[in-house]
Structure 1
Amino acid sequence: MPPTPPEDPDSAVITTDKLSKSFSVGGAQQHVLRNLDLEITAGSFTVVMGPSGAGKSTLLYALSGLDRPTLGTVRLDGTDLTALGEDALARFRRGHCGFVFQQAHLLDSLTVLENLLVVGLLVSRDRGALADRARSLLERVNLPERDWTKVPTMLSGGEAQRVAIARALMNRPAVVFADEPTGQLGSEQSAAVLDLLSDVHADGQTIVMVTHDVRSAARAERVLYLRDGHVSHECSLSGRTERTQALTSFLTEMGW
């Protein structure tokens, strides 16, 4: 079915208006996103899927302010990101966006605990409160206290990704953006990371995730299918008991 807006437009935490993104390739313009209108509801878990080269990561970066659109606007938590200068945009991302990528991108020169604290210090100078929150989040992601003083190179891939999720939550973001967060993990580690994301969402956190993995995508409430630069169709998984089966059927219809 074609994409539909949320029932209550006032609850949208992300809104785009004619969002477009193009790149110059060999002197020619390559249009990746085309006049995309989209609303994402606060507290939702949304996944973006589509064929290779459809612009999934480009869309994620545009929605989060990591990249600027060529045309159109993006509003996140009531702020027009396209109207902000570079410094203001960076400050906004620190306080309103959390990021989890395919690789954890932790700072190897810092301990696990310090990786969270350094993010918190970008928006607050209350070291005591930040330390309390960092410890609470590490407990939340089930990382034993004995590992908090380790450097990231001493962690497994799954442990590092759990720390990355804790770091993404450090500044209480309006939205957590995840780009293939289980792409380099084994099945057991992937399941643990997805369980954690599902738990975080159950607590009311808005999540927007890009993935090509059906089992990962089945954790979402809403799957957007990106093709030819726009959301061509979407699948609602909210309330479904057989989510993976429903999503597989949908993707088959899409020619996945």
Structure 2
Amino acid sequence: MSAHTTDRPSPPGEAPEADAVISTKKLSKTFSLQSVQQHVLKNMDLRILRGDFTVVMGPSGAGKSTLLYALSGMDRPTLGTVVFDGTDISGASQDRLAVFRRSHCGFVFQQMNLLDSMSLMDNVMAPGLLTKRRRAEVARRAVELFDLVDIDAATRKKFPGMVSGGEAQRAAIVRALINEPDVLFADEPTGQLNSENSTKVLDLLARINGRGQSIVMVTHDVRSAVRGNRILYLRDGTVKGELDLGAYAAEDEGRTARLSGFLADMGW
């Protein structure tokens, strides 16, 4: 085992069952293209730990986004199981998965996917109202979260086209958190942001994780990845290595070097 890998006694991707918010057994995903099968995920045994900021890295085509979609129930595995907070979601119907995701998962993507015809506040409240919660309760939660991400009352009333990319992405994070998800899934969340706005979004994700929110983030960016405490490196549909970076601290100047060394060992 590399000196850069975690010192947990379990193999890469493993941890005690009691600590896992998501666990997989022999998780596999195969796509067929013109009669040719592409095995994107291969017999993956993995545990996502509660409260961790797990970062998934790897070369293009390694299966990073496919893994995120399988873990969150956005896509069904071809083989194997996904147990999410004690519930096996592997064979659930699409309708059941939609209801499950609404309550247990939050999503942040490279594209903010905010509705241009609605204010930031209305965009954020919409998924909360779908859970049949009272409007006043959802509004209180939205205000608390907007305060957390430093979006003021005037900006909340604006439409997505009237705010900066950073503000729109922070609003998208608020929307992802409105239903108090067990896991926040993020797929290249800073991919379309400039350096300043990327830093604000990454600071926010680290702060949210510090409050106990479990996060799984896919990224190719080292500057983003160092915010996580657990790095999983995927190649050819399997976890090839794991790094335990510990809790994020801005003053930890060696953090980037440790991650870079690990990625070099992995053939990044």
**Among 35, 43, 46, the residue aligned to 1:27:** 35
Once the two structures are superposed, residues 120-154 of structure 1 have per-residue CA deviations (whole angstroms, 9 ceiling, x without a partner) of 01113311111111111111110111111111111
Unaligned runs of 5+ in 1: none
Which residue is equivalent to 2:265? 253
Residue 5 (structure 1) aligned with residue 14 (structure 2): yes
Which residue is equivalent to 1:122? 130
Once the two structures are superposed, residues 150-177 of structure 1 have per-residue CA deviations (whole angstroms, 9 ceiling, x without a partner) of 1111111111000011001000000000
TM-score (ref. length: structure 1)? 0.97
Which residue is equivalent to 2:77? 69
Report how many residues are paired.
Answer: 255
Letter in 1 for 2:240: S
Once the two structures are superposed, residues 11-30 of structure 1 have per-residue CA deviations (whole angstroms, 9 ceiling, x without a partner) of 20000000000101121100
1:40-189 aligned within 5 A: 40-189=48-197
Does the Cα contact within 8 Å between 2:108 and 2:173 map onto a contact in 1? Answer: yes
Letter in 2 for 1:3: P
CA drift at 1:4: 4.8
Does the Cα contact within 8 Å between 2:13 and 2:232 map onto a contact in 1? Answer: no
1:236 to 1:230, Cα distance in 2 relative to 1, 3 A? same
CA drift at 1:239: 5.2
Secondary structure, counterpart of 1:83 in structure 2: coil
Does the Cα contact within 8 Å between 2:24 and 2:47 map onto a contact in 1? Answer: yes
Cα RMSD of the aligned pairs, angstroms, is 1.1
- My pick for the range that moved more, 218-227 or 119-128, is 119-128
What percent identity do the matched residue pairs reach? 59
Once the two structures are superposed, residues 187-233 of structure 1 have per-residue CA deviations (whole angstroms, 9 ceiling, x without a partner) of 11100000000000000000000000001000001100001111011
Structure 1 runs of 4+ with >6 Å offset = none
In structure 2, what is the Cα distance between the partners aligned to 1:239 and 1:174? 19
In structure 2, what is the Cα distance between the partners aligned to 1:245 and 1:97? 32
Secondary structure, counterpart of 1:82 in structure 2: coil
Secondary structure, counterpart of 1:192 in structure 2: helix
Secondary structure, counterpart of 1:116 in structure 2: helix
Letter in 2 for 1:243: R
In structure 1, what is the Cα distance between the partners aligned to 2:115 and 2:89? 27
Which residue is equivalent to 1:38? 46
TM-score (ref. length: structure 2)? 0.93
Which residue is equivalent to 2:24? 16
Does the Cα contact within 8 Å between 2:13 and 2:239 map onto a contact in 1? Answer: no
